[in-house]
C-alpha cells in the first residue's frame, strides 16, 4: 500500500531516521578504526576549499603480529578528522604505500599465519575499511622481494607498485603531501 504524506512530514521522517543512523562522532568516516576525540573549540581545522591529496608511508611493523598496524590506524584517524570537519577527499586522493618491515601486513590470512603463527591477519579488515573509504593501498614490489614475500600471497585489494621510492617521489612531484610513519 502506497501512503502519501505531506512533504514536511516526509522530510521530518527522513531527517529523524538519518539522525538515528548518524555516524559515531568518534568514527565519522572509517567505522571502528582511527578513533578521534571531537574538539569543538580547536582553532586550526581542515580547509574545505583544499583538495587533500595525501600519501602515507608505512614502514614500521606493529608491536605484535596479532594487532593491526598503528600507522594504518593513523590513516583512518586522518580520514575521521577530515570527515568530522566536513572534508571528504575524492576516492584515490589518499594513498598508503607499505614497505620495509611493515611489508608482510599485506598478505592473505593463510600466508600471514605461515609467517607469524597468528591465524588471521588483523590488518586486512582495516585495509578493507580504508579501501571502502576511498583509500588506495599499495605495497612496494622491491620490499616484497627484500622481505621474501611471494607477490601471489598479497591480498587482492592491495596494489603492487614498482617501488615505494618512485611512488613517493612521483606523487610528491605531482603535489601530494607525504606523511611518514
At 109-121, the pLDDT tens digits run 999 999 999 999 9
pLDDT band at residue 70, thresholds of 50, 70 and 90? Answer: very high
Output the pLDDT for position 74: 98
Mean pLDDT of 65-71: 97
pLDDT band at residue 84, thresholds of 50, 70 and 90? Answer: very high
C-alpha to C-alpha distances, 176 to 18, 49, 74, 77, 95, nearest whole angstrom:
34, 16, 17, 18, 10
Q: Is the predicted pLDDT of residue 12 greater than 50, yes or no?
A: no
| Secondary structure class of 44 (helix, strand, coil) | coil
| Secondary structure class of 47 (helix, strand, coil) | coil
Mean pLDDT of 16-39: 77
Q: Which three cell numbers stand for residue 72?
A: 594504518
At 143-181, the pLDDT tens digits run 999 999 999 999 999 999 999 999 999 999 999 999 999
Domain residue ranges of the chain, discontinuous segments joined by +: 26-34+55-180
Output the pLDDT for position 23: 62
Output the pLDDT for position 10: 37
Predicted TM-score of the model (pTM): 0.86
| Of 65, 78, 74, 72, nearest in space to 126 by CA | 72
As a CATH number, domain 26-34+55-180 is 3.40.1260.10
Amino acid at each position: 500500500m502506497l501512503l502519501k504524506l505531506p512533504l514536511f512530514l516526509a522530510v521530518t521522517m527522513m531527517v529523524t531516521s538519518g539522525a538515528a543512523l548518524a555516524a559515531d562522532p568518534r568514527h565519522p568516516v572509517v567505522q571502528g578504526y582511527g578513533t578521534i576525540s571531537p574538539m569543538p573549540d580547536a582553532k586550526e581545522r581542515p580547509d574545505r576549499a583544499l583538495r587533500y591529496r595525501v600519501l602515507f608511508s608505512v614502514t614500521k611493523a606493529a608491536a605484535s603480529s596479532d594487532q593491526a598496524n598503528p600507522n594504518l590506524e593513523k590513516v583512518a584517524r586522518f580520514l575521521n578528522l577530515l570527515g568530522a570537519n566536513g572534508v571528504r577527499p575524492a576516492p584515490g586522493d589518499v594513498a598508503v604505500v607499505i614497505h620495509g618491515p611493515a611489508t608482510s601486513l599485506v598478505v592473505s590470512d593463510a600466508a600471514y599465519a605461515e609467517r607469524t603463527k597468528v591465524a588471521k591477519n588483523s590488518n586486512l579488515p582495516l585495509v578493507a575499511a580504508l579501501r571502502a573509504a576511498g583509500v588506495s593501498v599499495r605495497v612496494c614490489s622491491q620490499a616484497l622481494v627484500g622481505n621474501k614475500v611471494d607477490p601471489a600471497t598479497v591480498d587482492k585489494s592491495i596494489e603492487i607498485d614498482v617501488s615505494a621510492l618512485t611512488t613517493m617521489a612521483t606523487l610528491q612531484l605531482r603535489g601530494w603531501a607525504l606523511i611518514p610513519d
